[in-house]
Chain A
Amino acid sequence: MSHQLLISTLILSPLIGFLINGLRYKRHSANVAGGVATAAAAISFLSAILIFMELLAMPKEGRQIAVNFFEWMTVASLKINMGFLVDPLNVIMILIITGVGSLIHLFSVSYMHHDEGAAKYFAYLNLFLFNMLVLVLGDNLLVMFVGWEGVGLCSYLLIGFWFKDSDKAAAGMKAFVTNRVGDAAFLLGMFLLFVSFGTLNFQEINNMVPADPTFSWLSPLTLGTLFLFIGATGKSAQIPLYVWLPDAMAGPTPVSALIHAATMVTAGVYMIIRLNPLFLHTPNTMLVIAIIGGLTAVMAASIGLTQWDIKKVLAYSTVSQLGYMFLAVGVGAFTAGLFHLMTHAFFKALMFLGSGSVIHAMHEEQDIRKMGGLKKHMPITHFTFLIGWLAIIGMPPFSGFFSKDEILWLSFHSPLGHPALWALGAVGAVMTAFYMTRLMALTFWGKSRVPQDVHPHESPALMTIPLIVLAILSAFAGWLGVPHVIGAALGHLPNILAEFLSLNIKPIPNLAEANVTTEIILMSVSVGFALISAALAYHMYVRNPELPGKFTEKVKGLHNFVYNKYFVDEAYEGSIIQPLVQTSKSIWFYVDVNFIDKATYWISDIIKGGGSLVRSLQNGNLQTYAMYVAIGLVMTLTFILVR
């Protein structure tokens, strides 16, 4: 009972916040709305902590809280419960969601307080939290799908939050439509799983997975997991469906931090981890996931090298980091994937909020060419951003180092891994170090290129406090999952995360027989290259600011190609969207106008004619109507009596 209460508090308090703000949004001032929303998120976070404690108090084998609120639907053999399951895997997720969520709510109170739609904004934000929690906690695919769609909706609403700007509205639309493609695949995958297993419940599915892997490409499970993965590429912005995420930066910056960096976009990773026995059963899919993940990591990072918009850089960085996560889960390193998910949630939320702080200070200016030298104006933002930067480029001992390094190592070493995958990851890491340093350099260091009429200033405490908290988390969260090489070196530090997750995730089989030397070499190589690349970037953008321009002159074609994001958007436009639009237009003309419309006109003409005949019956006189009732009654009674 108390579990039920806790979980309902956890899930419902954002919903209640949404209702309060949503139903009365016109009357609320931004501060009241923000207070309500933040309180809702904080209550949710508190109950998440309580649930976490409950879970810790349980014996290790039985760390599960399952509650079933009601039976949602029963159709033939399909029985869906509105059930929620808390276990070590998603308790981490809910802590991240509600914790980072609360911080971002807090940040938003200050960030949005000039906006007239602030109450609406907070309502959406709370609704998002609610849906995300449903997604994460649902004990079956359908409940998860409800949350999945719900977060998509909120993402759409929030990207298009400033819908009066048609570009931003279009960005929201793009995100929504792209996600629909993924969602369709997700649904297909769900159907295939249901056909194979006869249930949608995660635990039942995971228990029913056959022991031996399937190597066939056409087996229903391979297809099903592939479809699920395509669904995940939609939500988590992977090749080929990543195109929406950079455009999603049209939304308010805290939204980008919460939805498009820390939580929603990781839903795909979470889903795969949740179903990890099933995915392990289909190595083909895993291979696809790993390749896609690696390619995305490199490709997005390379685009990130050339972008000028601070949020776009971060967005491509997010896509790239998500690629890492997929690379991790693709090689079977689920713990590492989740670990990176967590650290990424911290440092990327931190960097987005930091960029929000910068944008706020620069009066809505996002172009890094017009920044520079902000270090002295915004010390706190700079310092926290610095920590985020150190984390993301994988500088030991910051959190990103541990998670990224574990992924790289396992992509090399795991039975599903391959040196080529490691190479992809390493290249990505080098690029990451370069473009993040470039971002730091152009924004905070070097000479100021700030226009004369803008006077940057440090953000208020309400905005810096979340930054500081997140900075602390980004700095130290890595010690939760110390790789065992380093752990051994430092005196048998345990990998807390892996142990905690042992209920959900089986360890990689050949982890014990790892070659320590190889591991250390690989680690040093990637860190070393990353540092060199960072130093190069520092050299190029701080010391010799004219160098990059010369360099791009030389490789102009390549630069343009990359700068325009490999023309992927244009390719999609030409190959998919335009043909689709043309076909739809011709269908509209031939089928809709010429056939269906005409048919409905005929039908309506017939009905009109009949109606004008019958209309005389409806003469508006109540007594005539009563007479019809009486006659009907007489007829019915006669029928009953005579029968």
Chain B
Amino acid sequence: MPLGGILFITIFVIVFGCILLLLASKLGRRVYDPVKFQTYECGIPVQEKKDTKISVKFYLTAILFIIFDIEIIFMYPWATTFKDFILSGQGLYVFVSMMVFIGVFVYGLFWEVKSKALEWD
């Protein structure tokens, strides 16, 4: 069971990173300057602005990603077993059922492209 190894290396990496960060924070010299701690905006004073407008495209991308990601995940068990299915004579059946699925997938993708959900400007 690789779980132990995974846990071990995760914890190790986290501890390692923390130690390094701690070390770096102790070793560096500090000079206090209030301007330095201001948010960096290309040198001009920070403009405090409520409601930063962020394009809705980002969620659209993320939402579409979720949906299509799952569709792709669905292909994985199919891909592993496809050979076995062919050898047991059910290849065409499984192939056709997957093609139906992919057809629906492509239709969805096509719709998104057509409805300009994937256009960035």
Q: Check whether chain A touches chain B (CB < 8 angstroms).
A: no
